[in-house]
Structure 1
Amino acid sequence: MPGYHALIASPVMTGRRWDLGASRAVGRVFARRAPGDPPPIDLVASGTLDGALVDWAFYREGRRDTKISSYVEALTRARKGQGFVWIGLFQPNERQLAIIGQEFGLHALAVEDATEAHQRPKLERYDDTLFAVLKTVRYVPHGDLTATSEVVESGEVMVFCGPGFVVTVRHGEHSELTGLRQALEQEPARLATGPGAVLHAIADHVVDRYLEVADAVQADIDVIESEMFTPRGWRSIDRVYQLKREVLELKRAVAPLTGPMRALSTLRHPLIADETRNYFRDVDDHLLRVKEQVISFDELLSSILQAGLAQVQVAENEDMRRIAAYVAILAVPTMIAGIYGMNFDDMPELRLKYAYFVVLGVMAAACTVLYRLFKRNHWL
C-alpha cells in the first residue's frame, strides 16, 4: 500500500482501516506548516503535559540550545530545519498523547499504540516518520529464589522519529532515559546526525540492559542447577518453574526485537545516516547474542525441569523399594507367629522346653538374611 510501509510489525495489524490521503497529509503537518495556520500551543507553559513531561530540549548542531527556553520557539526553529526537538514523556494519558500527535502529525494508529501500551517490540514507518516500540527489562535483586520471586520486570519505550522531532513515551518505573540523554549530550557529533541518532542511542541502551539482565539470570540458573543435582534437590522444582516463567518474560522482550533491529541496520531513510546505520548493525549483533543466550536459558531450564521430574520418579521408586524390602523382612516373623498363633493341639514343638527360643532364633536369622540380601542389592 503506497504511503504506508510497515517494515516490521508484531503483531500484524488486521481489521484496521485508515484514510490514506489523511495519513499523507498528517505526516506533513509538522514539517510544512502553512503561514496562515494558527501558532502552535505552548504545551509546556500551558501545563498541558503536566504529570507526563520529563524533559524537553532543542538541539542544534548536536548541542542542547540552552538559550531557547520557549517550547514554541523550539518548534518554530525545528520546522525551519535548524535542529530538532526531543520531548520525553512518562506514562501520558490519552488526551496528552492526542495533543502531541496533532502537534507533530503522528499517525492515529501509532498514537493509539502508545496510549494502550503493552505492545510487542516493532518498527513501523508512516511516510517520513518512524515509530518504534522497545521493551525494557530490569533484574529484580533478591536473596533466595523462591517459588514466588519476581526476577525480571518489563516496561516499554516508544519512540516517534520524524523530521525535526523525537518524542519518547515511557511506560514502567525502570525505563528512565535521563542518564541516556545526558550521556548523549556529551557526544554532539552523534546528535548532529539528527533524530536517528537518538533512536539508535535508545535501542543501544535497551539492548545493553538485556545483556546485564541475562548475566544476572545466568547466575540464578547456575545456583538452581547446582541445587537440583543434590540429594533431595527435586524439592526445588517449583523454583525452577518460577525462573522459567521469568525467563519467558525476558524472551518476549528480546526475541521480537530482532526483526526491527535488522530493518534499522539496513533501512535507507532520511532520518538515519549511513554512520548511524553502522551503529545499528552493532546493536543488532548484541541483540542476536542475547537472544541466543535467552533461548539457551529456556532450553536449559526445560532440561533441569525434566531432570527434577525424573528425580521425583527415582525418589518415589527408591521409597517404594525400601518399603517393599521392610515389608518382606517383617513378613517372615509375621508368618511364623501367625502359624503358631493358631494353637492346634497336635502342632509340633509346642511341648518342647526351648521351642520358644528356637522359633525366635529362626525369626531373627531369617530377618537378618533378608536384610543383608536387600542391602547387597541396594534396596535398603
Structure 2
Amino acid sequence: MSESHFYHIPKSGKLVPCAKVEDAMALTEQEGSFFWLHYLEPTSEELRPLISLLDLHPLAIEDALDDNQLPKIDDFPSNSFIIFNAFSYADEKVDILEVDFFLGKHFVISIDRIGPDGKPLMDGIQETVMREMAEDRQGPAFVLHTMLDVIVDRKVNAIEAMEDRLAAAEDAVMDRPTDFEPKSLQQIRHILVKLRRSLFHEREVFVKISRKDCPFIPDKAIYQFRDIYDHLARFFELAESLRDIATSLMEIDLSVRSNEMARASNRTNRSVRRLTLITIVFLPLSLLASIGGMSEWTMMTGAENWRITYPLFLLGLVLIGTLSYFLLKWIIRHDDHSDNDGTDI
C-alpha cells in the first residue's frame, strides 16, 4: 500500500503538512526552511515526477524503485542518493530490507518499506524527527541523521537475536551433541554472512560521509554521522565474531560426530577381534576332535588302549587350546603395545 507525506519545516522546527510536493517547495522560499518528502512503498508514477521537480537523476530513481540493491552513496550536482538497509527479525528469521534517501540543499526525501510484521520499517519516524528537532539541529542533513540513527539502533534487535540463537546452538553442541541439528547452525552462519555484507557496505557509506565527501552535509552535522559510523563498526565486528563462532561450532560438531563414529568403529573392531580369537582357538581343536571322533585314532593306538589314549587325547586338546589362547593374547598385547608406540612388528 503506497503512502506519501509531505512536510514543510520552518525555523521553528515544526512539521507543517502539505498536500502536494509543489506546496512544500513553494514554502521553502522562506529563509532557513526546508521540506521533507516521506514515501511508503512508492510507485514509479510517484517518484518519476521528482526527476524534473527536484533535478533527481533518473538512475537514482531507478535504484530507489529496485529494492534489492547494496548500500551505497552517490553524489550528484544537486543532491546525494543513499541506499541503506534495515534489519527485521521475526519468527526466527532475519530480513534485510532496503530504504532510500535523497539529500539536497533544501530538501530530504525518504523512501520507506513495509516490514515482515506489516509495519513500516521507520514506523513512528515523524514523532522521532519532531522530538529530535532543535535550534542547533535544523536542516535536511539533521533529519537524515535522525532517520538513519533510528534504523541503526533497531539493527541491534536482529543482531542480538542471532547472538542468542548462536549461544543456544553452542549449548546444544556441547551438552546434547547427538540431538543437535547442524542444519540450524548452517542457517545462522548464512544469515550472519548476509548481515556482515550489508554492514560492510553501510560502513563504507559513512566513511565517505565522515571524509566530508558529501557536499550537502554541513561540518557541524559530520560529528553526528560519525557517531552512527561507530555503531556500524561495532555491529560489523560483532557480526564477524559471531560468524567465526558459528564456523568453530560447525567444526566442533563435525569433530564430535567423527569421535562418535570412531568409538562405534572401535566397539565393532573389539567385537570382531573377540569372535576371531574364539574362532582361532577352537579351529585346531575342532580338527583334532573330528580326527579323534573317527576310527583313525583307535586304529593308531589300538582299541584295547582306549581307556588311556582317549583321556590323553582330551588332555592334549585342553593343553593345545590353552597354549593357543595365551599365545594369541600375547600377540594381541604385543600389537596393542606396538600401536601405542607407533612402531611396527
Q: Does the alignment reach a TM-score above 0.5?
A: yes
CA RMSD of aligned residues (A): 3.4
Q: Structure 1 residue 319 and structure 2 residue 290: aligned? A: no
Match of 1:96 in 2: 46
Q: Which of 66, 73, 97 is the matching residue for 1:116?
A: 66
Q: Does structure 1 conserve the Cα–Cα contact (< 8 Å) formed by 2:87 and 2:154?
A: yes
Give, in angstroms, the shift of residue 74 of structure 1: 1.8
1:21-56 Cα distance to aligned partner (Å, 9 max, x none): xxxxxxxxxxxxxxxxxxxxxxxxxxxxxx422433
Q: Does structure 1 conserve the Cα–Cα contact (< 8 Å) formed by 2:3 and 2:39?
A: yes
Counterpart secondary structure, 1:63: coil
Give, in angstroms, the shift of residue 92 of structure 1: 2.3
Counterpart secondary structure, 2:28: helix
Greater mean deviation of Cα atoms: 178-187 or 190-199: 190-199
Which residue identity is paired with 1:290? Answer: F
* Identity fraction in percent: 21
Q: Structure 1 residue 157 and structure 2 residue 99: aligned? A: yes
Counterpart secondary structure, 1:178: coil
Match of 1:64 in 2: 15
Instruction: Output aligned runs, 1:129-168, within 5 Å.
Output: 129-142=79-92, 150=93, 152-168=94-110
CA distance in 2, matches of 1:326, 1:268: 74
TM-score scaled to structure 1, two decimals?
0.71
The structure with the largest alpha-carbon Rg is: 2
Give, in angstroms, the shift of residue 213 of structure 1: 2.1
CA distance in 2, matches of 1:256, 1:270: 20
Q: Structure 1 residue 185 and structure 2 residue 130: aligned? A: yes
CA distance in 2, matches of 1:313, 1:76: 72
Instruction: Give the count of matched residue pairs.
Output: 310
Q: Structure 1 residue 273 and structure 2 residue 199: aligned? A: no
Q: Which of 66, 76, 85 is the matching residue for 2:26?
A: 76
* Residues 315/242 of structure 1: CA separation in 2 closer, same or farther (3 Å cut): same
Counterpart secondary structure, 1:345: helix
For structure 1, the residue ranges without an aligned partner over 5 or more in a row are 1-50, 143-149
Give, in angstroms, the shift of residue 60 of structure 1: 1.2
Q: Structure 1 residue 224 and structure 2 residue 166: aligned? A: no
Q: Which of 218, 225, 245 is the matching residue for 2:190?
A: 245
Q: Which of 262, 286, 305 is the matching residue for 2:250?
A: 305
Match of 2:291 in 1: 345
Give, in angstroms, the shift of residue 333 of structure 1: 2.4
CA distance in 1, matches of 2:176, 2:274: 27
Q: Does structure 2 conserve the Cα–Cα contact (< 8 Å) formed by 1:157 and 1:169?
A: yes
Greater fraction of residues in helix: 2
Counterpart secondary structure, 2:69: coil
Q: Does structure 2 conserve the Cα–Cα contact (< 8 Å) formed by 1:81 and 1:164?
A: no
* Residues 279/75 of structure 1: CA separation in 2 closer, same or farther (3 Å cut): same
CA distance in 1, matches of 2:250, 2:179: 9
1:281-317 Cα distance to aligned partner (Å, 9 max, x none): 1111111111111111111111111122222222221
Match of 2:274 in 1: 329
* Residues 274/233 of structure 1: CA separation in 2 closer, same or farther (3 Å cut): farther
Q: Structure 1 residue 200 and structure 2 residue 142: aligned? A: no
Which residue identity is paired with 2:292? Answer: D
Which residue identity is paired with 1:162? Answer: G
Q: Which protein, 1 or 2, shows the higher relative CO under an 8 Å CA cutoff with sep ≥ 6?
A: 1
Give, in angstroms, the shift of residue 79 of structure 1: 5.1
CA distance in 1, matches of 2:36, 2:136: 11
* Residues 354/55 of structure 1: CA separation in 2 closer, same or farther (3 Å cut): farther
Q: Which of 185, 195, 201 is the matching residue for 1:256?
A: 201
CA distance in 2, matches of 1:295, 1:89: 33
Which residue identity is paired with 1:132? Answer: I
Match of 2:302 in 1: none
Greater mean deviation of Cα atoms: 329-338 or 235-244: 329-338
Match of 2:76 in 1: 126
* Residues 191/84 of structure 1: CA separation in 2 closer, same or farther (3 Å cut): farther
1:127-181 Cα distance to aligned partner (Å, 9 max, x none): 1301111111122344xxxxxxx3x111011001113222212345255223122
Counterpart secondary structure, 2:42: coil
